[in-house]
Amino acid sequence: MNQVRKVNTISLAHYTKGTPEQKQKFIDDLYQGLKEYGFIILKDHPVDPQLLKQAYSVLEKVYSLPDAKKRSYISEKGGGQRGYTAFGTEHAKGAEVKDLKEFWHVGREVEDSHPFAKYYPKNIYPTDVAPEFEVIFEKLYAQLQEAGIQMMEALTFPLEVERNFFRDMVSEGNSILRLLHYPPIPEGIDPRCVRAAAHEDINFITLLPAATQSGLQLKDRDGSWLDIESDFGTLIVDVGDMLARLTNDVLPSTTHRVINPQDGTNVSRYSMPFFMHPHPESNLSCLASCKGSGAKYPDITAHEFLMQRLREIGLTK
């Protein structure tokens, strides 16, 4: 009888507070899980479940606003890096139709004098309708960042780099908290349209608090689609293209999607992925421990790679 393949759930507390044996097991399980599936599920992390509940409540309020009001929070600078992006704007790389979603981006802010200020637009908050929005999502951003840094530190051991290697790259990185709303599927929609078409993430790793509805699937190594089910309060973690590039695909970026409701419950789905990015001037050069017979990809900076991918998915020209 074939064993059902399932993404592994591991405890971050085993790495941060565990015995040497628990710490080593976490490192091994994290590395093997990301190699085999490109995904793991994380429990016992620093993200507060009460904060997640508050965050989802605020999203329901903001996304129930009239379309014209939501569009007033679209960034004048374009590119969708901050503020609201309207329904039917983004598409997967190479897709002919748009995804069935709208979203809001919260990113890092720095002082105007900071060297990265030219890369990081100011955040746009709906303060007039949801004064709690800024506090809740800045707190959530910080907690997800901390969980991500702890996890990426664990990867420095098998990847044979300095312990602060990833911390130094992401501490002032261009990480984005994406606040997603997948509305009920409208009648008469192009049958090719899905909530999120098959794609890979751009960044180092993504930390995704369990969404309000199911629908997330990953493409397994044999080409079949595997449902990812996780308990409320856990974080689904996947490898993005930047980390795949850095590791020469030793840690591969796994294709995933969000399918339309299958069980007749055509209701809204809310989701809050945290895309952990290095800082824009980081060089995505192949790690020495992953070169094997040679690097597959030419050197590129994180900012150059991000801009290339944003053009490919229709968020900038």
At residue 145, φ and ψ (nearest 5 deg) are -60, -45
3-state secondary structure 228-289: CCCCCCCEEEEECHHHHHHCCCCCCCCCEEECCCCCCCCCCEEECCEEECCCCCCECCCCHH
In this model, does residue 161 exceed pLDDT 90? yes
pLDDT-derived band at 68, boundaries 50, 70, 90: very high
Cα–Cα distances in Å, from 124 out to 114, 154, 193, 317? 19, 34, 29, 21
- What is the predicted pLDDT for the residue at 97? 86
Tens digit of pLDDT for each residue in 172-188? 999 999 999 999 888 88
- What is the predicted pLDDT for the residue at 116? 95
Q: Of the candidates 219, 184, 213, which has an alpha carbon nearest to the alpha carbon of residue 198? A: 219
AA identity, residue 219: K
Residue 256 makes CB contacts below 8 A (sequence gap 6+) with 39, 198, 199, 200, 216, 217, 218, 219, 228, 238
Q: What is the pTM of this model?
A: 0.94
Tokens representing residue 124 in the block: 């746009």
Q: Of the candidates 98, 102, 94, 30, which has an alpha carbon nearest to the alpha carbon of residue 66? A: 102
In this model, does residue 252 exceed pLDDT 90? yes
Give the 3-state secondary structure of residue 1. Answer: coil
The whole-chain average pLDDT of the chain stands at 92
Span of 20-34, 36-50, 77-91, 206-220 with lowest mean pLDDT: 77-91
- What is the predicted pLDDT for the residue at 76? 84
pLDDT-derived band at 142, boundaries 50, 70, 90: very high
Q: How far apart are CA 155 and CA 26, in angstroms?
A: 10
Secondary structure letter of residue 290 according to DSSP: G
Classify the phi-psi angles of 93: left when phi > 0, otherwise alpha if psi is within -120 to 50, otherwise beta.
beta
Beta bridge partners of residue 208, listed in sequence order? 236
- Percentage of the chain exceeding pLDDT 70: 97
Say which residue, 266 or 69, is predicted with more confidence: 69
Residue 212 makes CB contacts below 8 A (sequence gap 6+) with 56, 268, 269, 270, 271
> What average pLDDT does the segment 74-103 reach?
85
> What average pLDDT does the segment 37-54 reach?
95
In this model, does residue 2 exceed pLDDT 60? no
In this model, does residue 3 exceed pLDDT 70? no
Contact 217, 37 (CB under 8 A): no
- What is the predicted pLDDT for the residue at 302? 95
CB contact burial 290-303 (16+ within 10 A = b; e otherwise): beeeeeeeeebbbb
Span of 121-135, 214-228, 282-296 with lowest mean pLDDT: 214-228
> What average pLDDT does the segment 192-216 reach?
90
pLDDT-derived band at 78, boundaries 50, 70, 90: low
Tokens representing residue 232 in the block: 């409320």
Q: How far apart are CA 124 and CA 105, in angstroms?
A: 8
- What is the predicted pLDDT for the residue at 91? 79
Contact 213, 269 (CB under 8 A): yes
Cα–Cα distances in Å, from 157 out to 26, 31, 38, 243, 257? 11, 10, 18, 15, 30
In this model, does residue 1 exceed pLDDT 80? no
> What average pLDDT does the segment 46-66 reach?
96
Tokens representing residue 138 in the block: 């800045």
Tens digit of pLDDT for each residue in 280-316? 999 999 999 999 989 999 999 999 999 998 888 777 7
> What average pLDDT does the segment 208-227 reach?
89
Q: Of the candidates 303, 306, 299, which has an alpha carbon nearest to the alpha carbon of residue 284? A: 299
